[in-house]
Amino acid sequence: MSDSVLTSVLLPVALAVIMFGLGLTLTVADFTRVLRMPRAVLVALGIQVVLLPVICFGLVKVFGLAPALAVGMMLLVASPGGTTANLFSHLAGGDVALNVTLTAVNSVLAVITLPIVVNLSLNHFLGDGQIGLQPAKMLQVFAIVLVPVALGMLVRARRSSFADRMTRPVKLGSIVVLALVIFAAVYTERANVLDYLVEVGLIALLLNVLSLAIGYAVPRLTGLAERQSIACSMEIGIHNATLALTIALSPSLLGNSEMSIPVAVYGIVMFFPTALFAYYLSRRSVRPGSEALPGQPVA
């Protein structure tokens, strides 16, 4: 099977299936829940949309990454969280309802914020304002992100029992798809993969650790409850690598396999620090006030 078929057909279809699966887990209440916990949502999104790209940009400059690899890192950090964050949040004792809300809202925002971050990164690192995610390509991002989610939500609203049965298979399928996409990205750049691993492995690991730590510490400092802070940490520390890989590899979007390497490396290394941090959080004793109601400050 040729690389062009993989990147132009199978990869977008696989992502659409994953986003449809995400939609099967969402309801309108997951969006309206923002009104019940506005501070938690604003804090988490502020970190993810504003602070995290700034931190990633600083890491990229300090490490002196090659331009295409630097853009790949910025593409990764601009991608929203995914359903994997919900799983880790559950294991760590986080507020999974908040995770679902953050994933829903951030997936919508990413249609706007992701192209902005990517285009600014392309202009800065490659100095080419003629490539990237222009309006027509932004519509494609919209189509592969929001349309399947909306269809999944529609199915859930009309066939909730079917949606519940499909939740577990879709999650397992998402993991398999991510593994296959990472393999495809690494295989495409197999001649340089060892050099890339050396170049981006440490920065990918640092980004994950910093994202988890800041995603937990800042919400706590702003007075959010323990469970909400855990949810924020997992949502901020785990990105939708499949979306980022699709944008990097798809010929109709960026079509640059080198940009996919940081995403693929992150998709591998993120599981180890995240699992350790989730285990650590799950073993902590619940502090007084940590079970405050959503949107309420810690006592």
pLDDT category at 10 given cuts 50, 70, 90 is low
CATH number reported for the structural domain that contains residue 58 in this entry:
1.20.1530.20
Residue 288 lies in a domain: no
Residue range 99-108, pLDDT digits in tens: 888 888 887 8
Cβ contact 98:294 at 8 Å:
yes
What is 213-277 written as a DSSP string? HHHHHHHHHTT--HHHHHHHHHHHH---HHHHHHHHH-TTTT--HHHHHHHHHHHHHTHHHHHHH
Residue 289 lies in a domain: no
Residue range 124-140, pLDDT digits in tens: 888 765 445 556 666 66
Q: How far is CA 169 from CA 80, 96, 173, 235, 248, in A?
A: 22, 19, 6, 21, 26
201 vs 289, more confident:
201
Residue 262 lies in a domain: yes
The total domain count for the chain is 1
Cβ contact 170:84 at 8 Å:
no
Residue 292 lies in a domain: no
192 pLDDT more than 80:
no
Residue 294 lies in a domain: no
Residue 130 lies in a domain: yes
DSSP 8-state assignment for residue 159:
-
**Domain around 200:** 3-281
Mean pLDDT of 280-288: 67
Range with the poorest average pLDDT among 2-11, 172-181, 188-197, 272-281: 2-11
Residue 298 lies in a domain: no
pLDDT at site 19: 76
Residue 106 lies in a domain: yes
Mean pLDDT of 89-95: 83
